[in-house]
């Protein structure tokens, strides 16, 4: 098999670790995030990790919640990083079989800007790719991933194949990802998790590069600006194609 050198230099990836633990407390989710980040960094991708719980992010579905009565809202500054990123990965723990409250909060704040338009008149998240990572010691990896990936695609993100990965231990109380038990760190050598995390990282990079190299999603038949202008997607109308 030919060894092809892939170069994704210039791509930017943003990871949200939606743990409920403030820094510098150890986050099991962050250990898995770092596996994906390391793969991307080795291929030239610029990566950044944010723990939303470390920031004063207001709850709501408006871009700037200080205009809705909140005294402080750090989300508008964080959102600038979202806008700059080609790849967005939302990572978090499972609680009661579902995503954490912080994960939900981040998705709600992304939703607040889903009506913004890019320079092509499409929704702002068109041309960006999304994925997710989940950890926990109870069932729910696929349920949590399904919710996140549906939400991201609904907002306009492109979801490549195998865009999720996760790890869960035995059902019930027990070790979490990366905990040391009998001198061994649990989960780090799990082949299923490592394979899916690797596939996810590469598929996100491949899709982001494809979109970047080709100008994003073609701006035809999906432009909110054209719909608002009254064209109503009259595809035979030459005015629409200008």
pLDDT, mean of residues 170-199 = 85
Predicted local confidence at residue 232, as pLDDT: 61
Of the candidates 154, 80, 89, the residue with the CA atom closest to the CA atom of residue 123: 154
Would residue 1 count as lying in a domain? Answer: no
Predicted local confidence at residue 166, as pLDDT: 93
Predicted local confidence at residue 177, as pLDDT: 86
pLDDT digits (tens, 9 = 90+) for 196-213: 999 999 999 999 999 999
Cα–Cα distance, 132 to 200 (Å, whole number): 9
Would residue 25 count as lying in a domain? Answer: yes
Count structural domains, the chain: 1
Would residue 240 count as lying in a domain? Answer: no
Would residue 233 count as lying in a domain? Answer: no
Please report which confidence band the pLDDT of residue 1 belongs to, taking 50, 70 and 90 as the band edges.
very low
Predicted local confidence at residue 190, as pLDDT: 87
- Does residue 235 register a pLDDT over 60? no
pLDDT digits (tens, 9 = 90+) for 28-81: 999 999 999 999 999 999 999 999 999 999 999 999 999 999 999 999 999 999
- Helices 75-84 and 101-111, packing angle to 10 deg: 70
Of the candidates 121, 70, 151, the residue with the CA atom closest to the CA atom of residue 223: 121
Predicted local confidence at residue 231, as pLDDT: 59
Q: Write the DSSP assignment of 86-126 as a string of letters.
A: SEEEEEEEEETTEE-HHHHHHHHHHHTTTT-B-TTSSBTTT
Six token digits for residue 161: 């194949």
Predicted local confidence at residue 50, as pLDDT: 98
Is the bond preceding residue 110 a cis peptide, omega within 30 degrees?
no
Would residue 99 count as lying in a domain? Answer: yes
pLDDT, mean of residues 166-195 = 84
Instruction: Tell me the CATH number at 86.
Output: 3.40.50.360
Q: Exposed, middle or buried: residue 67 (CB in 10 Å: 0-12, 13-18, 19+)? A: exposed
The pair phi, psi for residue 90, each rounded to 5°, is -100, 120
Host domain of residue 199: 12-228
Residues in a beta bridge with 12: 46
Predicted local confidence at residue 88, as pLDDT: 98
pLDDT digits (tens, 9 = 90+) for 74-132: 999 999 999 999 999 999 999 989 999 999 999 999 999 999 999 999 999 999 999 99
Predicted local confidence at residue 2, as pLDDT: 47
Cα–Cα distance, 74 to 66 (Å, whole number): 9
Six token digits for residue 82: 């979202």
Between 222 and 170, the more confident residue is 222
pLDDT, mean of residues 180-186 = 84
Cα–Cα distance, 213 to 115 (Å, whole number): 25
**Residue for token digits 């150890």?**
26
Helix (H) or strand (E) holding 198: helix 191-213
Would residue 153 count as lying in a domain? Answer: yes
pLDDT, mean of residues 209-234 = 83
Would residue 238 count as lying in a domain? Answer: no
Residues in a beta bridge with 17: 91
Would residue 239 count as lying in a domain? Answer: no
């Amino acid at each position: 098999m030919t060894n092809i050198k892939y170069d994704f230099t210039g791509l930017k990836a943003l990871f949200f670790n939606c743990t409920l633990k403030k820094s510098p407390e150890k986050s099991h989710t962050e250990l898995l995030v770092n596996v994906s980040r390391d793969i991307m960094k080795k291929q030239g991708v610029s990566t950044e990790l944010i723990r939303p719980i470390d920031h004063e992010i207001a709850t709501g579905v408006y871009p700037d919640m200080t205009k809705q009565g909140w005294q402080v809202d750090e989300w508008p500054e964080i959102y600038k990083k979202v806008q700059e990123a080609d790849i967005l990965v939302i990572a978090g723990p499972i609680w009661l079989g579902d995503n954490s409250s912080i994960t939900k909060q981040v998705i709600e704040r992304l939703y607040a800007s889903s009506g913004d338009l890019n320079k092509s008149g499409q929704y702002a998240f068109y041309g960006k790719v999304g994925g997710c990572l989940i950890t926990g010691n109870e069932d729910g990896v696929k349920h949590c991933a399904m919710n996140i990936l549906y939400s991201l695609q609904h907002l306009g993100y492109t979801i490549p194949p195998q865009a999720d990965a996760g790890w869960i231990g035995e059902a019930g109380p027990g070790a979490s990802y990366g905990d040391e038990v009998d001198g061994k760190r649990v989960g780090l050598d799990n082949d299923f998790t490592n394979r899916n995390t690797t596939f996810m990282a590469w598929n996100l990079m491949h899709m982001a590069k494809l979109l970047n190299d080709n100008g994003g999603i073609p701006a035809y038949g999906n432009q909110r600006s054209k719909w608002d202008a009254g064209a109503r997607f009259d595809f035979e109308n030459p005015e629409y194609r200008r």
